[in-house]
Structure 1
Amino acid sequence: MVIRCCILEFKIVGGSIVTMSERGIIRDGCVIVEDDRIVDVGSRSIASRYHGYEEIDADKCVVIPGLINCHHHIAMGLLRGYADDLILTEWLEKWVWPFESKLTGYDIYIGALLTSTETLLSGCTTVNTMYHYSYDYNEAKALLDLGMRGVVGHVCFSWRREDDLKLIEHLYRVWHGKDGRIRVSVDPHACYTVDPNYLVELHNLCIEFNKKNPETPVILHTHLAETEDEANRVEKTFGVETGGSVVRYMDKLGVLDRYTVAAHCVHLSSEDISILARRRVKAVHCPVSNLKLSSGIAPIPAMLREGVHIAIGTDSVCSHNRSDMFETMKFAALIHKGVYKDPTVMPASLVLKAATVSGAEALMWRGLGVIEAGYYADIVVVDFRKPHLTPLYDEYSHLVYAVRGSDVKYVMVNGRLLVDNGCITTIDLEWLLDEAIKARDRVLERLHS
């Protein structure tokens, strides 16, 4: 059950505006929104110029650009807590993939709605998601119905190449550019599940799409160097030489470039890092998922030093258990301080940039990640009138180290108020929770019958 909300003109008045632009932080500020765009940003005094606008009181709040989650599988909302404390191969092959084989399109839609609702309520406005696409109900429909922005890809495997290509064509034709909020990606699962010829074919398809619509880029979204044994798995599965490096292997295939968004990038040599930087690959740091699956810790500070573009993702709620970018940002800031024994690495401002500005750049989506005139009105208001957020000295510090997703008060996407005083406005939450439980029961019955 989806509830529609209309676009209005808003003025967000008061609080600290963390612009993520050269303007820095505007305290006691104001943001003016008309239709889907920000039209003015400044001090509180500009509010008086705009009459008849719906006012959002941001006093004692901090206003930030909508967070951008660059690696997710939102349809896996039905698998949260289903398979824990397992290594990646066992987790996938014995638990996740058998469960997923029993999902219908409607189950995928409900799982995606469930995760997207959690994601939105915790301040994330754009998500990059990879999953099994179906013609009727799918992740794109869930994001569209909820009002979120997203990049949606159909996950590809060698064993179903012909079906994959038909599904990608349909996904692109029906959904790319839909409502200005949905874009499509080309998603080879990983180099150990997609053979080299198919990897090249998918990369060429991505190039073809980008020639058709250069103004709305199509990224290539994949998993890369998540576990230590990936090179061995590629060699055993496909009988090819990797030289011990999946990054070098994919580079020799010619499939790494500025359109590539590579999740995880945990097990990298210095040469691998240089290749990623040279090819302008966007690496997505998923610290919580990597820790939970014991995959390791990505060398993010070393990658940043070499100029690798870094964004942040939660990964699925099956491998993370929550879809909270604030929690993920805190992990991203803290673990490297411990690993490098250096408290200055991954400062809060840099981590917030990775979750906003750098996320927009990774997805090649202009107009996101910054609060500035001309940008899309994807805005989050965080309530700082909380014991754990008082007193305030530095907005970046609290946003990364202290804020919880539940502190989010208002969320706007494309100028539509989707979260109002902590409540979702576009869907009946009780209906959704009931549907998720029913879907779980149906899948388990199919799985065990």
Structure 2
Amino acid sequence: MQYILKGKSIVTMGSRGIIRNGCIVIEDSWIIDVGEYNDIRGKYHGYEVLNMEDCILMPGLINTHTHIAMSLLRGYADDLQLKEWLEKWVWPLEAKMNERDIYIGAKLSALEAIKSGTTTICSMYHHQYDYNEARAVYEAGLRGVISHTFFDWRRDEDYKFMEDLISKWHGKGRWKIKVAASPHAPYTVSPKYLMEIREYVNEKNRELRDEEKIIIHIHVAETRDEAKIVKEKYNVETEMGLFKYLDQIGFLSEDVLAAHCVWLTDEDIATMKARKVKVSHNPISNLKLASGISPIAKLLSVGVTVSLGTDGPCSNNTLDMFETLKMASIIQKGVTLNPTVLPAEETLKMATINGAKALKWDKHIGSIEVGKKADIIAVELGKPHLTPIYSELSHLVYAVRCGDVKHVIIDGEIVMENREIKTLREEEVIREAEKAKEELIRRLKER
């Protein structure tokens, strides 16, 4: 496939900055040229020109922390503290989910993600052998890092699930699908088991290139009392912070992607910087569950790589990364009483190139540059809330809504054109999800 995307402007998130009246030349799944249309068009005879002059072209958004199967639980339990929300509501209903539920929920989330401009997701959930999140993401044409979640209570099963996930899905579809190992959290996985998982991942990665390596995806420091819970449950020292504890047992490395990171000590932040831990900031779910506000401005100021995630559609309750972009920026401005904190460009980096770095994919995605994969979205302008336009960056962070996404290209394939998904039957997915929800509630009532 050879074609040229012609846009009103291109926000590259790379060294070229913003190119107005620009175009992107795509061959197979790769970007082979980027620049002003008048300078480039004559070089590529026979390439089809796709006119997107009513749009800003930008890298697809990267959602680095979610639980996509949980779309079936959207709105099931709200306005609760995290502990009660999980233990009394979410986990009992999840226990009734079968592999078809997981697959259907993941398809629904994939549909939502594509329609809102997300081209890569990193999801943590319970792997199943036949129908699972990886299958749903692959069939939808999304790029994804899919993990299995480890818990103390199912150690033997965890490794069987993980081996199946790796053997069937790691590298699938020209490396559109990668795999992660996800110990749930320090309060649900013992220090001994955390180190077993660390050694397991190290062994798996020994023969892999850097961009092919399996990362570790974990929740850390989400709530105020988490460090106390870990200390009391496992008789370990956590007074200096959970990251300090994880470092002392030898768990941390540059391949760790930590979600939430709300309640951090100064020792935590210094440790995160030293060990090159990556962060997935989830501002909306952290506010909705009243977990707190992560010190993102401080993390960025010391050089920690911070990306953005929505968290699951059960705790957010959407996968809208444009909403997350705006919230991430304005919350940090508010809590620091400093409007210069997290300006538009820095915030947009969190959802693009920083997300790629967090997933060890920045050689291939996260910016529009020659030699990278063609993961591109087109955001339609010409609407009241997007008029007039002085700054593309300002619009993308503070004004654009997810419904403004008009076209989506992933790995060079046009996955959504004029808001019509080409890989999934939208109405059928919605019907399946509603039916699965009804069956799930019926099974819960039968307990």
Fold-level similarity (TM above 0.5): yes
What are the residue-to-residue correspondences of 1:415-426 with 2, within 5 Å?
415-426=412-423
Map of 2:282 onto structure 1: 286
Contact 1:232 1:244 in 2 (8 A): no
Residue number among 54, 78, 90 corresponding to 1:84 in the alignment: 78
Q: For residue 174 of structure 1, report the CA deviation from its aligned partner.
A: 1.0
* Aligned equivalents of 1:88, 1:52: Cα separation in 2: 56
| Amino acid across the alignment from 1:352 | L
- The reply on whether 1:351 has 2:347 as its aligned counterpart is yes
Map of 2:138 onto structure 1: 144
The secondary structure found in structure 1 opposite 2:323 is helix
Contact 2:240 2:265 in 1 (8 A): no
TM-score norm. by structure 2 comes to 0.97
| Amino acid across the alignment from 2:194 | L
List alignment gaps of at least 5 residues for structure 2: none
Residue number among 175, 185, 189 corresponding to 1:190 in the alignment: 185
Q: For residue 249 of structure 1, report the CA deviation from its aligned partner.
A: 1.0
| Amino acid across the alignment from 2:5 | I
* Aligned equivalents of 1:396, 1:105: Cα separation in 2: 41
Contact 1:13 1:47 in 2 (8 A): no
* Aligned equivalents of 1:205, 1:129: Cα separation in 2: 20
Q: For residue 306 of structure 1, report the CA deviation from its aligned partner.
A: 1.4
| Amino acid across the alignment from 2:154 | R
What are the residue-to-residue correspondences of 1:12-23 with 2, within 5 Å?
12-23=5-16
The secondary structure found in structure 2 opposite 1:106 is helix
- The reply on whether 1:237 has 2:233 as its aligned counterpart is yes
* Aligned equivalents of 1:26, 1:227: Cα separation in 2: 43
* Aligned equivalents of 2:400, 2:237: Cα separation in 1: 46
| Amino acid across the alignment from 1:40 | D
Map of 1:227 onto structure 2: 223
TM-score norm. by structure 1 comes to 0.97
RMSD: 1.0
* Aligned equivalents of 1:58, 1:15: Cα separation in 2: 7
The secondary structure found in structure 2 opposite 1:162 is helix
The secondary structure found in structure 1 opposite 2:213 is coil
| Amino acid across the alignment from 2:29 | D
Q: For residue 239 of structure 1, report the CA deviation from its aligned partner.
A: 2.7
Contact 1:231 1:244 in 2 (8 A): no
The secondary structure found in structure 2 opposite 1:60 is strand
Map of 1:434 onto structure 2: 431
* Aligned equivalents of 1:53, 1:77: Cα separation in 2: 40
Q: For residue 243 of structure 1, report the CA deviation from its aligned partner.
A: 2.5
Residue number among 277, 285, 290 corresponding to 2:273 in the alignment: 277
Contact 1:69 1:325 in 2 (8 A): yes
Q: For residue 423 of structure 1, report the CA deviation from its aligned partner.
A: 1.2
- The reply on whether 1:207 has 2:207 as its aligned counterpart is no
Contact 2:79 2:289 in 1 (8 A): yes
Q: Percent identity?
A: 51
- The reply on whether 1:176 has 2:173 as its aligned counterpart is no
* Aligned equivalents of 2:366, 2:406: Cα separation in 1: 19
- The reply on whether 1:38 has 2:34 as its aligned counterpart is no
- The reply on whether 1:265 has 2:258 as its aligned counterpart is no
Contact 2:240 2:268 in 1 (8 A): no
Contact 2:65 2:121 in 1 (8 A): yes
The secondary structure found in structure 2 opposite 1:12 is strand
Residue number among 27, 43, 49 corresponding to 1:49 in the alignment: 43
| Amino acid across the alignment from 1:259 | D
Map of 1:27 onto structure 2: 20
| Amino acid across the alignment from 1:342 | N
The secondary structure found in structure 2 opposite 1:382 is strand
- The reply on whether 1:122 has 2:119 as its aligned counterpart is no
Q: For residue 55 of structure 1, report the CA deviation from its aligned partner.
A: 2.8
Q: Can you list the C-alpha shifts for 1:219-264, whole angstroms capped at 9, x where unaligned?
A: 1000010001111111222233323521111111111110000001
Contact 1:288 1:328 in 2 (8 A): yes
* Aligned equivalents of 1:384, 1:10: Cα separation in 2: 22
Residue number among 381, 386, 393 corresponding to 2:383 in the alignment: 386
Query: More displaced, 47-56 or 129-138?
Result: 47-56
* Aligned equivalents of 2:169, 2:396: Cα separation in 1: 34
Residue number among 389, 392, 395 corresponding to 1:395 in the alignment: 392
| Amino acid across the alignment from 1:157 | F
Map of 2:4 onto structure 1: 11
Map of 1:4 onto structure 2: none
| Amino acid across the alignment from 1:448 | K
The secondary structure found in structure 2 opposite 1:125 is strand
Contact 1:75 1:110 in 2 (8 A): yes
Q: Can you list the C-alpha shifts for 1:326-358, whole angstroms capped at 9, x where unaligned?
A: 000000010011100000000000000111011
Contact 2:55 2:379 in 1 (8 A): yes
Q: For residue 212 of structure 1, report the CA deviation from its aligned partner.
A: 2.5
Give the total of aligned pairs: 442
The secondary structure found in structure 1 opposite 2:239 is coil
Query: More displaced, 377-386 or 231-240?
Result: 231-240
What are the residue-to-residue correspondences of 1:321-400 with 2, within 5 Å?
321-365=317-361, 366-400=363-397
The secondary structure found in structure 2 opposite 1:263 is strand
Q: Can you list the C-alpha shifts for 1:185-205, whole angstroms capped at 9, x where unaligned?
A: 010000000011000011111
Q: For residue 414 of structure 1, report the CA deviation from its aligned partner.
A: 0.4
The secondary structure found in structure 1 opposite 2:149 is strand
Residue number among 118, 126, 133 corresponding to 1:132 in the alignment: 126
| Amino acid across the alignment from 1:223 | H
| Amino acid across the alignment from 1:23 | R
- The reply on whether 1:316 has 2:309 as its aligned counterpart is no
* Aligned equivalents of 2:180, 2:59: Cα separation in 1: 23
* Aligned equivalents of 1:51, 1:79: Cα separation in 2: 50
Q: Can you list the C-alpha shifts for 1:89-139, whole angstroms capped at 9, x where unaligned?
A: 011001111111111111100000101110111111001110000000001
| Amino acid across the alignment from 1:347 | P
* Aligned equivalents of 1:333, 1:54: Cα separation in 2: 38
Q: For residue 438 of structure 1, report the CA deviation from its aligned partner.
A: 0.8
